[in-house]
Amino acid sequence: CPKRDMEGRSFLITAGPTWEFLDPVRFISNPSTGKMGVELARAAWYRGGDVTLVCGPGVKPDVPGARVENVVSAEDMLEKCLEFRDSDVIIKAAAVGDYRASTVQGSKIKREGMSTLALELVSNPDIAARLGQLRRDGQVLVGFAAETDNLIDNALSKMRSKGLDAIVANDVTRQGCGFGSDTNQVSMVDRRGRRMDFQGTKEEVAHFVLDVVTELLEE
């Protein structure tokens, strides 16, 4: 029998990559599959939460009890997250594209006679930081940080600059971690400077993250 410690709590969870189109047939993206976000949504629902899962393209959101919202670009994801920004718990597990094309071409970019192609990119809004600015009392905001170096220092500075309560950091250069993998090894740091390490399947990691969220909600 699952613990129902999330009963009466609303969750906004984001998962997967974003697609930033250059023209009608090409986009910039990343290898995120959304597994971690989907496992978080499943765990939160299983524990009694009211869950909204905002998914980037290609994510399989098979969480029967969650409200699923599909989005494509970072700008779409921001818009959808703003709709649900009052949620008690917001977990930003999506790998949001940092840049998009400054102009999306209306027709396919031609390659004939072009040995190089220069793209001008503009930065996307930082959704986590925007939600951090809009936060209300009692809300818990959790981010993710996929890092290749200085794991803890980078995670702590992201947590602080984005106004988050905690961040789950993982070193994507390690075997069996990060993009597309079924397992994860994470270090979670919180607003009080606590550091908690955990290793397991993404399902187990999801429950570990929710255990920390419960503590943050009660503090």
Q: Least distance to ligand C5P from the beta carbon of 60, Å?
A: 19
Of 109 and 121, the one with the shorter C-beta distance to ligand C5P is 121
Site string for ligand C5P, 189-208 (x = CB under 6 A): --------------------
Q: Out of 40, 59, 89, 145, name the contact with ligand C5P by CB under 6 A.
A: 145
DSSP, res 85: T
Centre a 10 Å sphere on the Cβ of residue 163 and count the other Cβ atoms it contains. 17
Q: Cα(184)–Cα(190) distance, rounded to whole angstroms?
A: 19
Q: Examine residue 211 and tell whether it contacts ligand C5P (CB under 6 A).
A: no
The verdict on whether residue 23 carries a ligand-binding annotation is no
Give the residue from 218, 215, 209 showing the smallest Cα distance to 42.
Answer: 209
Which residues lie below 8 Å from residue 46, measured CB to CB, with a gap of 6+? 2
Considering only the stretches 22-30, 90-98, 169-177, 191-199, report the one whose residues sit in contact with ligand C5P under the rule CB under 6 A.
90-98
The verdict on whether residue 162 carries a ligand-binding annotation is yes
Structural tokens at position 205: 């990691």
DSSP, res 22: E
124 noted as active-site residue? no
Q: Examine residue 159 and tell whether it contacts ligand C5P (CB under 6 A).
A: no
* Under 8 Å between Cβ of 187 and 196: yes
Residues within the interface to ligand C5P (CB under 6 A): 74, 92, 94, 96, 98, 124, 126-128, 143-145, 158, 162
